Amino acid sequence: MQNLWGSCVNWDENISKYVTQKIDCPQELKTNLQAVQQFFRKNHQQYLQMYANGKCKLNPGSKPVPFNYWEAVNHIYGWVPFNEGCGAAANPLADTKIPGWDHAKIQSMYIHNLQYNYKETNISPELLFNPYVQLIHDKNYLSMDAYGFSVDDAVGFMSELGDGLIFTVGGTQGLENQQQFNYADGFSVAIGVPSSMVDKVNTPLIKKYGVCVLNQDAGDPNCQQDKQDVIMPTNSQIAGFRVGTVADYPIKVRFTDLNGNKYAFIVNEKFAPCSGDPAQCPTNKAEIVNKQSCIVTNGKGVKHPKSDDWCQNANPNQQNEKQLTKNYISFPSPVDYMN
């Protein structure tokens, strides 16, 4: 990493103590690194101006941090502004801009083109922007959906429904679900929000849900028992839920809406990886949901008049982001709101 910055970017100082080898830097990589350097140089200029204006008083008598090779690299890999002595909220990167680059644009490049450059075909080790990201995410190493760097939010940030945390040391033994979190293995059930409820953000749509793996429980191989064991919040409008990594497929998914209607359907197989046009993904779209198994019953256990309409609109789809693909099975609004 130090050799990369010492070879691809010019510095106004002697950096020989940081650089042990000169690297032949590709032009695109050089251009991107230079843009990031200039962006942080501009942020540092704003920082110096704050000091000159007397806005940095946390450490009386202290001098501002200089802009040099080591300080720049530290701030770049932390993706944090120069604000030492000024306060944590001072001089945000979002307020920094250079010709051709605002914060949003350069952060996107920093994430996708630099931090994840290990994904490039046949890239040599000395050109890796951050080998730690490869260690964390690559399937040949730890293969973890965890933060590989400070703003690795697309992969590392997980917003999941739960009522607590369980910590284990030394393995997964004792956990109810021993499968590692993985966006690729699971999917989210998404239901439409009725137009009459769009503004009722504190009114729930779903009471509870549950998932059962077929042919796993000798006492209930066909998942006939209604195991809806996850209770949804009663003060939030959450239009769906996530089914995480399961032991096997097929699985039976059930949920109950606010009016007591019960929905049930079978998911035959996991989503195939998406490598092409997201509009055409997943490639096994037609095989994922067993629509013949799908049924909606009312509170009395009678098939709802809109059951077939709701079930036939099951739509397996994928959102393909640069670092990961998220899987969805989308459905219309709850049956009582269908036209």
| 294 vs 176, higher pLDDT | 294
Sign of CA dihedral 302, 304, 305, 308: negative
Structure confidence at residue 284 as a pLDDT band (50, 70, 90): very high
| 185 vs 89, higher pLDDT | 89
Structure confidence at residue 162 as a pLDDT band (50, 70, 90): confident
Structure confidence at residue 322 as a pLDDT band (50, 70, 90): low
Predicted local distance difference test score (pLDDT) of residue 142 = 87
Q: Are strands 262-267 and 289-297 parallel, antiparallel or unpaired?
A: antiparallel
Q: Do 76 and 44 form a contact (C-beta atoms < 8 A)?
A: no
Predicted local distance difference test score (pLDDT) of residue 205 = 96
Q: Which long-range contacts does 298-307 make (Cβ < 8 Å, 24+ apart)?
A: 298/260, 298/261, 298/262, 299/259, 299/260, 299/261, 304/261, 304/335, 306/335, 306/336, 306/338, 307/335
Predicted local distance difference test score (pLDDT) of residue 166 = 84
| 297 vs 157, higher pLDDT | 297
- Rounded average pLDDT over 244-265: 94
Predicted local distance difference test score (pLDDT) of residue 40 = 99
- Rounded average pLDDT over 220-226: 95
The DSSP call for residue 98 is: B
Laid out side by side, the sheet with 240-243 consists of 240-243, 187-191, 325-331, 315-320
Structure confidence at residue 29 as a pLDDT band (50, 70, 90): very high
Q: Is 161's pLDDT higher than 80?
A: no
Q: How far apart are CA 200 and CA 10, in angstroms?
A: 56
Q: Do 154 and 322 form a contact (C-beta atoms < 8 A)?
A: yes
Which has the minimum average pLDDT: 58-72, 164-178, 309-323? 164-178
Span 117-144, pLDDT tens digits: 999 999 999 999 999 999 999 989 988 8
CA-wise closest residue to 125 among 1, 286, 306: 1
Predicted local distance difference test score (pLDDT) of residue 185 = 77
Span 56-108, pLDDT tens digits: 999 998 999 999 999 999 999 999 999 999 999 999 999 999 999 999 999 98
Sign of CA dihedral 247, 192, 262, 233: positive
Residue found under tokens 């008598």: 61
Q: Is 286's pLDDT higher than 90?
A: yes
Q: How far apart are CA 247 and CA 245, in angstroms?
A: 7
- Kindly report the average pLDDT of the chain as a whole number: 92
Predicted local distance difference test score (pLDDT) of residue 240 = 95
The structure tokens listed for 320 are: 């393909």
Q: Is 184's pLDDT higher than 80?
A: no
- Rounded average pLDDT over 187-193: 96
